[in-house]
Structure 1
Amino acid sequence: MSLPVTETLLAEQRDHALHITLNRPQVRNAMSLQMVREIMALFDYADTDDSIRAMVLRGADSHFCAGGDIADMAAARAEAGSGNSDPFQALNREFGRMITRVNQASQTVVALLEGSVLGGGFGLACVSDVAITLSSARFGLPETGLGIPPAQIAPFVARRIGLTQARRLALLGVRCDGEEATRLGIAHECVANADDLAEKLATILAQIRRCAPQASAVTKKLLLDVESTELETLLDRAAADFSRAIQGPEGREGAQAFMQKRNPEWAQ
């Protein structure tokens, strides 16, 4: 199966990572409905290829993403009076499906944050597993200043940085730079320039390679379910996951590699 054809994204598999670039530089990579659907298609594709263990998200032309596409909003407004369906609700909910899909990806999702990281771009950053930002990046939730709520983004922002800080950012519409975003926990590390960003990405991808892919996927699901699953139920499931893993091919290979003082097969 080949990579899906995309018009708003650039996609390239390099080694064990699928690199996805939001590619609408004329609007600072604002997310159109087409882009939202193309992102989901690429994440669905990654699940068909076991060699893809990392998904790297970034934006073209030194901007990550400036939020939602105004053109889609205008089209929805024109459509609003033409029938019984609610195009605004449908448009907004589709973005929620995309951000949920990225959040639940079995691969490790790495976000490289530059320039504008606003609205939907901010939300996308908040569902990455690892986020690296330039100090000069500008983060913000401008929705309330535009008369709308950050509807699909808000739950993921609150989970990422906590309710107190999410309230402040969303209700005041304040902007912050990469250093402040790192302090808040939106990003994990802050670097000074593009060369440092590339070097940090190489280090992260090497670290991902050292981790067993199935064990990483199971671990990620366990962590994501902490807030939604009763503890005893979660621990029972975790014990079953552990048993399957230690008796499975990754567990056997990991033990053998440790005893033989070599790298396991997945780290080659």
Structure 2
Amino acid sequence: MAEDDPLLRSREGAVLRATFNRPARRNALNGALFGALEDLIADCAADRSIRAVVLAGAGGHFCAGLDLTELAEGEAALARNRRMGAILAGLSGLPQVVVAAVEGAAHAGGLGLACAADLVFAAADARFAAPETRRGLVAAQILPWIARRTGRSEAARLVLQAHVVDAAEAARIGLVHGVAPDAKALSALVGAVLRDVQQGAPEALAETKALLAALGPVVPDGYAEAGAQAFARCAAGSEAAEGIAAFRAKRLPVWAS
């Protein structure tokens, strides 16, 4: 499967499948994938013939988060983090039902993308983590979406302990709605959910999503910009330089050794 298109789309009736397509990088988010996600959101918002959107990843992984080979500093880091916040809000705000089908890694930004979906299902091999602090960074834009999914207490543990959570634990804390034993069973589970969803009237589903959003904002006023600023500060600091170097060298950073 070629990686020249970072986001593969396929249409199955009223269902649009969007597959992150950077398998050699575990579908890590780079500039091209950011742009493809922005285009996806705009296209889905304009096409009400789409009833549901399924997010998945190629090559056995969902999304490993930001591609650290493209980590920027200063204004570039600020802009990238602002884009991430807008993508998460855009996915959540779509009139369609958004379903995440997770295999393998859903880390950092990948975890955020899963949490921004309306429904999340995982294969037994799925692994979830918010490892930013171990890299000298902060889980800025994804934090409100994790908190929406799991509640603030479990979100605090995920972003502070920064450990890897398996699929069974993810189900226990409410991070995912269901777990399937393997990829084939996950596909069948998602298919059954999509059939249920399409029993609902399109406008009624869209209005229901709007009512859920009206229960209270996921991201408080001012938070997105504060998060972007915090991420940019950390990305430019010595801790990020050491944390990312340690990650690439597969060693502990100095503060953990």
In the superposition, the TM-score normalised over structure 2's length comes to: 0.81
Q: Tell me how far apart the structure 1 counterparts of residues 200 and 25 of structure 2 sit (CA, whole Å).
A: 37
Find 1:44's aligned residue among 42, 45, 68: 42
Q: Tell me how far apart the structure 2 counterparts of residues 228 and 14 of structure 1 sit (CA, whole Å).
A: 32
Match of 1:257 in 2: none
Find 2:146's aligned residue among 146, 157, 162: 157
Q: Tell me how far apart the structure 1 counterparts of residues 102 and 131 of structure 2 sit (CA, whole Å).
A: 17
Q: Tell me how far apart the structure 2 counterparts of residues 210 and 158 of structure 1 sit (CA, whole Å).
A: 29
Q: What do the CA deviations read for 1:213-250 (whole angstroms, capped 9, x no partner)?
A: 00000100110120249xxxxxxxxxxxxxxxxxxxxx
Deviation at 1:135? 1.5
AA aligned opposite 2:61: H
3-state DSSP of counterpart to 2:116: coil
* 1:201 matches 2:199: no
Q: Tell me how far apart the structure 2 counterparts of residues 28 and 94 of structure 1 sit (CA, whole Å).
A: 20
> Of the two structures, which has the highest relative contact order with CA contacts closer than 8 Å and spacing of 6 or more?
2
Matches within 5 A, 1:128-143: 128-143=117-132
Find 1:185's aligned residue among 150, 168, 174: 174
Deviation at 1:194? 1.4
- Alpha-carbon contact 1:40-1:102 (below 8 Å) kept: no
What root-mean-square deviation, in Å, do the aligned CA atoms of Structure 1 and Structure 2 show? 1.4
3-state DSSP of counterpart to 1:210: coil
* 1:95 matches 2:93: no
* 1:171 matches 2:169: no
Deviation at 1:44? 1.2
Q: Tell me how far apart the structure 1 counterparts of residues 87 and 35 of structure 2 sit (CA, whole Å).
A: 7
Q: How many percent of aligned residue pairs carry the same amino acid?
A: 37
- Alpha-carbon contact 2:131-2:162 (below 8 Å) kept: yes
Number of positions where the alignment pairs a residue of Structure 1 with one of Structure 2: 215
AA aligned opposite 2:26: R
Deviation at 1:7? 2.1
Point out where structure 1 has 5 or more consecutive residues left out of the alignment.
1-5, 81-85, 230-268
Q: What do the CA deviations read for 1:100-126 (whole angstroms, capped 9, x no partner)?
A: 100111100010000001000001110
Q: Tell me how far apart the structure 2 counterparts of residues 102 and 145 of structure 1 sit (CA, whole Å).
A: 27
Match of 2:227 in 1: none
In the superposition, the TM-score normalised over structure 1's length comes to: 0.78
Point out where structure 2 has 5 or more consecutive residues left out of the alignment.
219-257
3-state DSSP of counterpart to 2:42: helix
